Structure 1
């Protein structure tokens, strides 16, 4: 067993990890599970970076940024139809040229294997991670 506060180390060397909050285990699983299927908003934000984007729940899916995506970590039956925030990882977003413009690039930061692009779209700021090229 290894206890660490270094997230990169935990994700890199562990075959199973636990995320704790206030002395309680929030989620236990493989690094891939915890990173790609977080059970709570806390874990989503704690393990990696996320964008909080306004969305609407409808029929077990979320409408966000003009697309419909499956809900990964909630009891779909309990949601009904409601406005909420989607937590989306920067690496799960893509920038594409649009016919009417749309997003405004406000900053770019080279992070080695990725470039983080900060954009402003629909009165929201978000981060998109993409290959440096």
Structure 2
């Protein structure tokens, strides 16, 4: 049994990453952890929020619910292919969460789409994919 972590952000490249897994792996021996990572709630979002009823936990919960909704097309694609999977939403730094999650769930492979950033932008900001490359010891499949 191969355990694959597919980091999904809703982009076309992320959907292509799912298709690549379906087209190249033995899906009969595959279990997928589908992961969306939300940005952590910043304190200024709570302090300067116009709605005093929104606190840090409710903002976090709303982001997690929105993340589950964002995973819907990916879940539908995996379901239609007959793949066993679990959907997860986590908060935090995406690269750190992805690599930590892959260890926690003993994933054999991390799969993710790239956004195709240009070289200069990538040098200035860095991409989640390049950060995962540096943080993980797991095999990593990047799909553009």
Instruction: State if a TM-score over 0.5 links the two structures.
Output: no
Higher strand residue share: 1
Q: Does 1 or 2 have the higher relative contact order (CA < 8 Å, sep 6+)?
A: 2
Higher helix residue share: 2
Bin for the TM-score computed over the shorter chain = under 0.3
> TM-score scaled by structure 2?
0.25
> TM-score scaled by structure 1?
0.26
